[in-house]
Amino acid sequence: MADGVALLRLARGDRAAAVARLRELAPEELAAACQELRAESRAEFLMLVPRPEEVVPLLAEAELVQTVRAGGMSDAAWLLELATPEQRLACFDLDCWTAQQPALPRVHEWLDALIEAGRPTLVRALEEMDLELLILALRAETRVAVVAKEEEAPEGWFTPDGVVHFGIADAESPHRVHEIVQSLFEQSPALYWRLVYGLLFEPTPECEEDALRWRTNRLADLGFPDREQAMRVYRPLRADKVEERPAHEGSAALVRAIALPQKLRGSLLGEALTALPLERAADVLGYVLGVANALAVADGLSLSDSDSVPRALEKAVRGIDAGLRELAGARGQSPEQVLDRTAPLDLFRVGATRDPALRPPAPPAEPAES
């Protein structure tokens, strides 16, 4: 398996040798090596790759978003040009929401990066993204009016079609709105007129509700539950109420400790996983990662930050460790026997029930009334 850290280190010392080595690797190997790197180093690695157009689409959606964010939005354009529709959608889903509300300044940043990528990429992305989110983003900085030919248009407003006019507030830059509107009018007229209709007639609350619903459905496909489901991870559960399942029957092959995520190494959970049959350990590890994803959502972490899911995974491991100790003592079983017969979600709930440090963070205080 290619070592992304070693390859990048080689490139910084001998670029020609690194490029030659990279040419020997398949796109799948290059994508895996890239994802091993810290998010802020991945763009540098991808710029060394001979055929980045074959590698970028293989990155996991969340990994691409973290790569762009960590490397800086000023360098996002070329990555977005090479990205898949699913990856571009994930940029808005993972980075442009605060709790249940769209973070429109973040939407504007991604739209600017798409504009820099060129009109073909911009139009493709606008056709892919939720129209409701685009309406909200443009409504925040433009006004729209339909002006008959015999009427005089408002001063300073622009129109691509001679009928619909767009006005920009003095504090805003007209470039973003102008580029989006003009590109759609020329290259995707059907979407242009849908956008105009939405800006004129679609109520903001309905746009927010629909955009949230589409986003929630897509996040579920990426393994992130909606907030209501995610909060189930904090439902109290006593050890004596935990369901014990039948032991799994499988081969005797063991998981190599080196194959475990770093956050699990040295933990009771990690030790228990290495004692389980390989197939069963892989299955359980998937559920552990599901607990971490639920915690990331429940705790309101930014899903586009490269340290959010690792932080959630660290918390998940601490809670599951506590649950393993509790149930191992109560049942008189080894930790691996408990892990084999108990859902990781229940183990975390047991741990969080006993340890206040594992419970959800307190909501921010309401501002005092003047």
333 is a domain residue: yes
Task: Tell whether 367 is covered by a domain.
Answer: no
Domain of residue 117: give its range: 79-221
Residue 365 lies in a domain: no
Among 221, 246, 279, identify where a domain stops.
221
Q: In this structure, are 168 and 231 located in the same domain?
A: no
What CA–CA distance (Å, rounded) separates 133 from 140?
11
Alpha carbons 268 and 349: distance in angstroms, whole number: 16
Q: Are residues 116 and 193 in the same domain?
A: yes
165, part of any domain: yes
Task: Please tell me whether residues 95 and 205 are part of one structural domain.
Answer: yes
- What torsion, rounded to 10 degrees, do the Cα atoms 212, 179, 60, 63 define? -90
Do 89 and 118 belong to one domain?
Answer: yes
**111 and 160, same domain (yes or no):** yes
Same domain, 41 and 134: no
User: Quick check: 122 and 180 in contact, CB under 8 A?
Assistant: yes
- Residues with Cβ within 8 Å of residue 269, at least 6 apart in sequence: 288, 317, 320, 321, 324, 335, 339
**Domain count across the chain:** 3
pLDDT per position as a tens digit, 353-368: 999 999 887 665 544 5
Centroid of chain to Cα 305: 8
How far apart are the C-alpha atoms of 345 and 334, rounded to whole Å? 18
Quick one: 231 and 216 in the same domain?
A: no
CA angle 86, 87, 90 (to 5 degrees): 85
Neighbours of 258 (CB within 10 A): 7
Q: Which residues of the chain have pLDDT under 50?
A: 251-258, 366-367, 370
pLDDT of residue 153: 82
Q: Of 205, 221, 237, which closes a domain?
A: 221
266: phi then psi, degrees, rounded to nearest 5: 85, -5
Would 368 be classed as within a structural domain? Answer: no
Among 167, 194, 221, residue at a domain's last position: 221
Residues 6+ apart with CB under 8 A from 195: 131, 134, 135, 138, 181, 184
The answer to whether position 66 is within a domain reads no
Rg over CA atoms, the chain = 25
**Do residues 258 and 332 share a domain?**
yes
Residue 301, in any domain of the structure: yes
pLDDT tens readout for residues 103-124: 999 999 999 999 999 999 999 9
65 belongs to a structural domain: no
251 in the same domain as 134: no
